[in-house]
Amino acid sequence: MSKVKIAVLSSLLTLVIVSVTFAFFLSQEKELINPMQSTEKVHSPGSHQLVNLDERDTANQELWNQRRNIITQTVQNVSPAVVGINVKEIRQYRSPWSNDPFWRQFFGSGIYNRTVQGVGSGVLISSDGYILTNDHVAGTADEIVVTLTDGTQYKAEIVGTDLTTDICLLKIEENDLPFVKFGNSDEIIIGEWSIAVGNPFGLFSMTDNPTVTVGVISALGMNLNPLNGRYYMNMIQTDASINQGNSGGPLVNSVGEMIGMNTIIYTAQGSSGNVGVGFAIPANKIKKIVEELKTSGEFDRNYWTGLRIQDIDEGIADYFSLSRARGVLVREVENNSPGEDAGIREYDIITNVGNFRVDNSEVLQGILKDYKAGETVAFTILRDGDFINKTMKLEKQ
């Protein structure tokens, strides 16, 4: 009997010990995994350290917030002011047979009209509907349709256009429109962020929203060769991707100021796509041209200098003991001309106009295209080994 009592008591004691032990471990497990506890901890994969779930949620929220940075905010602010531009232009073509009297008997004058369509970009620069674009986009158009980001379309009229600087000002009849403010292009820093917004390849028509590309300012003061009567001087170079159709769209800095207008690109041979080298007209030049287009519809360059000039080659550089063949030689100064009044003489060498270096006669002509009749221009000239400054008033012809 005693043996039975001992066995029963031993079993009860074992059951109590097992129950207490089970309860203890169960409570510890709940403390570790209970989702209602604010200080829950879990094991990180591959780690023996415990990670606080509140800290993880905070980190995830921070990552989410970092997605909205100064670039995305700028794009959100600028995009509503960017427009797609569709143009139609009627061009006249002449048949190759039109010059032959025999064939004209059968085919007439051989002159016929052809409608050419094109697309480009533009940007609203005022709340009352003034739109900036390139002359090569809309300057010769017979019909211009502007599409806003809300899908609304307007017929636009040309207020004025300037082929020389490739700047065109349009107007639509609407008020309270979003617009982009001009920045100061003289304060641009090489290497700072640049954002190109526009309508490459007409993609704007698919979503009524512009395309955004981001890069940096690669170089400043770039003087390109003239193209079809257009002078591209003091251009901004960027590696933000610019393609066909981007022309006329804004180049903005990271705070949403328009520092230039996307205009021209370098392309690889046989290609029309971006290779990382694009150019924009600086905002300060645009502001000057736009004010003239608003008031008179044109930029008045009807002035004269009275100077006859010549590029400096190696022979001329050696004769004047120049370190390199750069600058423009004055070959003749007309009597009673602005050049004579400014004190410029024959055989002077023009090295600078204002802050811009003069490499050759093409550059000099391009720089002077930024001035209008009646303005005063500062010249730096080399005479008898000394640099001297002269000012010339650009008088009307």
- 43 catalytic per annotation: no
In the set 166, 239, 348, 370, the catalytic residue is 166
Q: Give yes or no for a contact between 354 and 320, defined as CB atoms under 8 angstroms apart.
A: no
How is residue 115 written in tokens? Answer: 């409608």
Contacts of 78 (CB under 8 A, 6+ apart): 180, 195, 197, 250, 252, 256
Q: Is 48 a catalytic residue?
A: no
Name the catalytic one among 162, 218, 247, 348.
247
Assess whether 166 carries a catalytic annotation.
Answer: yes
Decide: 115 and 173 in contact? Cβ < 8 Å. Answer: no
- Which one of 121, 135, 136, 348 is the catalytic residue? 136
**Exposure b/e, 94-108, CB count within 10 A at least 16 = b:** eeeebeeeeeeeeee
State the catalytic residues.
136, 166, 247
